[in-house]
A and B are shown apart, each in its own frame.
Chain A
Amino acid sequence: MKRPFLLALACALLLTGCTGPAQPTHTPTSDPTAESTTFAMDTVMTFRLYGGTEEDLTAVTSRILSLEQDLSVTLEDSQVYALNHSGGEPVTAGEDFLALLALAKELGNRTGGALDVTMYPVVKAWGFTTSEYHIPDEDTLSALLANVDYTSVTVEGDQVTLPAKMELDLGAIAKGYAGEMAANLLRERGVTSAILNLGGNVQTVGSKADGSPWRIGVQDPQQTTGGYLGVLEIRDQAMVTSGGYERYFEEDGVRYWHIMDPHTGAPARSGLVSVTIVGDKGGLCDGLSTSLFVLGREKALDYWRTYGGFEAILIDDQNNIWVTGGLKNNFTLVADSPYTLNIVEE
């Protein structure tokens, strides 16, 4: 054959046709050695251990269920429930409760009250606890806000006091903390590779079984169901995202989401639509994802420069993504993204 170029060209085109687009770009890791899906803390949790056993899985699950038992705002024999119904009398708190209160107080102080664990009555008034949404009127809100102040929670030893009429909810930090505790427990038990997803809060232990980092998608805030806008590679860290898309309702074309600004008692309108925090401590990440959402980009980045200890991905309502310097080599936007990527240096 003197001129096999046609054939060669056709072959080349066809071969790219059947192998090109759909081949996995990453070699799949081996299957998990233990895996489970649990419903706890009002959400679906999936745990995948690589090298761990069913016993490790059981230990993690029971640790999380006991945390829920202690910290739930709705379960009648929880410590939080007891505090909310104490009528201002001191209540005995367990180790986890105390740790979370300390974290909540620190974050509240550092963010100028952008995280306030006593917002529960306001959240209830908007209907976010029952899904029977409605917009409370000004008078109702100002009356409720009078009883919102995380600084009036006092701790002496293991005794916690909450003024009557006030109600406390650790929901903004409990899931992240639960992931953090679960990861610690797994590390203690010698598990070196695991990935936990607690209703969207991702907690990793070590790296993947083949030693490569975990690849975690970041939810696209414009999509309500599972789409993602980029991939972040992490090892041994927690990654928590808060966004207005998680829980919201719409009235007269306006979207009202569940992330509340404690100063206004209304959904936080800071220009941000999603905040992802990556760090070593899941509880801190969880609290920061909510409070930096409330603060808005400028103040959030000020917070990052002042305190550090975590990295962040901020997405605003103008399709801009702001990624802090520590993540610049680990974050990849999906191809042809509608978003503009900005790297923030210190």
Chain B
Amino acid sequence: MNIKSNKFWVIVIAAVLALCLVAVGIWTWWRNSQPEEEGLIAVVRLDGRIVAAVDLNKVTENYTQTFSGESGNSNTVEFAPGQVRVHDATCPDQICVSQGWADRTTLLPIACLPNSLIVEVAAAQDLGLDSISR
């Protein structure tokens, strides 16, 4: 097949698209097939550092915590039983706020790129812990 031909490029681009769809499909299936473990950890990263790791299954009532970054921006994160969201933020686009609640089956981490803040939700089993000493 000639690299200069349209056919070649149609196949390449269609293959990338197909791979994306498969990736999305596999990821959706994987996220939904995870057993409900005793631990569901929300990890908050700000400027590349973990600033909070909260076991969402141990949260009994909603509470908020504000994270302020190097640039002076801040995001207020609301932790709730089994889920977490960015409640409000100083970023111009407000995408992180409109991403809404993230829980065990949410496909994408919450990301506020202007403020370098990420909120990920992962099953505690992923972290290989047998127990927590506290």
Q: Does B130 contact A (CB under 8 A)?
A: yes
A1-B8, A10-B19, A18-B27 known; A227+B130 contact, CB < 8 A: no
Point out which of A1, A218, A243, A337 has the most chain B C-beta atoms below 10 A from its C-beta: A1
Within 8 A of A (CB), among B92-134: 122, 125-134
Within 8 A of B (CB), among A177-216: 195, 197, 200-202, 208, 214-216
Decide: A338 and B19 in contact? CB cutoff 8 A: no
Decide: A226 and B129 in contact? CB cutoff 8 A: no
Decide: A226 and B55 in contact? CB cutoff 8 A: yes
Decide: B130 and A28 in contact? CB cutoff 8 A: no
Q: How far is the CA of A200 from the CA of B131 in the complex (A)?
A: 8
- Closest-by-CB residue of A relative to B65 is A223
With both chains docked as a complex, state the minimum distance between the C-beta of B102 and any C-beta of chain A, in angstroms.
14
With both chains docked as a complex, state the minimum distance between the C-beta of B41 and any C-beta of chain A, in angstroms.
7
Decide: A28 and B58 in contact? CB cutoff 8 A: no
Q: Does A7 contact B (CB under 8 A)?
A: yes
Decide: B133 and A219 in contact? CB cutoff 8 A: yes
Q: Does A231 contact B (CB under 8 A)?
A: yes
With both chains docked as a complex, state the minimum distance between the C-beta of A26 and any C-beta of chain B, in angstroms.
4
- On chain A, the residues within 8 Å of B51 by CB distance are 338
Q: Does A300 contact B (CB under 8 A)?
A: no
Decide: B129 and A217 in contact? CB cutoff 8 A: yes
Complex partner residue of A1 from B1, B52, B54, CB under 8 angstroms: B1
Decide: A218 and B133 in contact? CB cutoff 8 A: yes
- On chain B, the residues within 8 Å of A25 by CB distance are 126-128
Q: How far is the CA of A29 from the CA of B131 in the complex (A)?
A: 13
Decide: A226 and B58 in contact? CB cutoff 8 A: yes
- On chain B, the residues within 8 Å of A30 by CB distance are none
- On chain B, the residues within 8 Å of A227 by CB distance are 41, 52-55
Q: Does A254 contact B (CB under 8 A)?
A: no
- On chain B, the residues within 8 Å of A75 by CB distance are none
Q: How far is the CA of A215 from the CA of B132 in the complex (A)?
A: 9
Q: How far is the CA of A10 from the CA of B79 in the complex (A)?
A: 36
Decide: B53 and A228 in contact? CB cutoff 8 A: yes
- Closest-by-CB residue of B relative to A217 is B132
Decide: A18 and B133 in contact? CB cutoff 8 A: no
With both chains docked as a complex, state the minimum distance between the C-beta of B25 and any C-beta of chain A, in angstroms.
9
Complex partner residue of A336 from B1, B41, B50, B129, CB under 8 angstroms: B50
- Closest-by-CB residue of B relative to A277 is B133
Q: Does A220 contact B (CB under 8 A)?
A: yes
Within 8 A of B (CB), among A5-50: 6-7, 10-11, 14-15, 17-18, 22-26, 28
Q: How far is the CA of A338 from the CA of B46 in the complex (A)?
A: 11
Q: How far is the CA of A48 from the CA of B52 in the complex (A)?
A: 28
Decide: B134 and A241 in contact? CB cutoff 8 A: yes
Decide: B131 and A214 in contact? CB cutoff 8 A: yes
Decide: B133 and A202 in contact? CB cutoff 8 A: yes
Decide: A240 and B55 in contact? CB cutoff 8 A: no
Q: How far is the CA of A231 from the CA of B53 in the complex (A)?
A: 13
- On chain B, the residues within 8 Å of A241 by CB distance are 133-134
- On chain A, the residues within 8 Å of B79 by CB distance are 225
Q: Does B39 contact A (CB under 8 A)?
A: yes
Q: How far is the CA of A27 from the CA of B34 in the complex (A)?
A: 14
- Closest-by-CB residue of A relative to B37 is A28
Q: How far is the CA of A218 from the CA of B131 in the complex (A)?
A: 9
Decide: A200 and B132 in contact? CB cutoff 8 A: yes
Given pairs A195-B130, A214-B130, 4 additional interface contacts (CB within 8 A): A1-B8, A23-B126, A215-B129, A225-B79
Q: List residues of B whose CB falls within 8 A of some A CB.
A: 1, 3, 8, 12, 15-16, 19-20, 22-23, 26-27, 30-31, 39, 41, 45, 48-55, 57-59, 79, 122, 125-134
| 18 sample A-B contacts, Cβ–Cβ < 8 Å, listed by A number | A7-B15, A24-B126, A25-B128, A197-B131, A197-B132, A201-B133, A202-B131, A202-B132, A208-B130, A215-B128, A216-B133, A217-B132, A225-B58, A228-B132, A276-B133, A334-B50, A334-B53, A338-B51
**Among all A-B residue pairs, the 9 with the closest Cβ atoms:** A226-B55, A219-B134, A26-B128, A227-B53, A200-B134, A217-B132, A226-B58, A241-B133, A18-B23
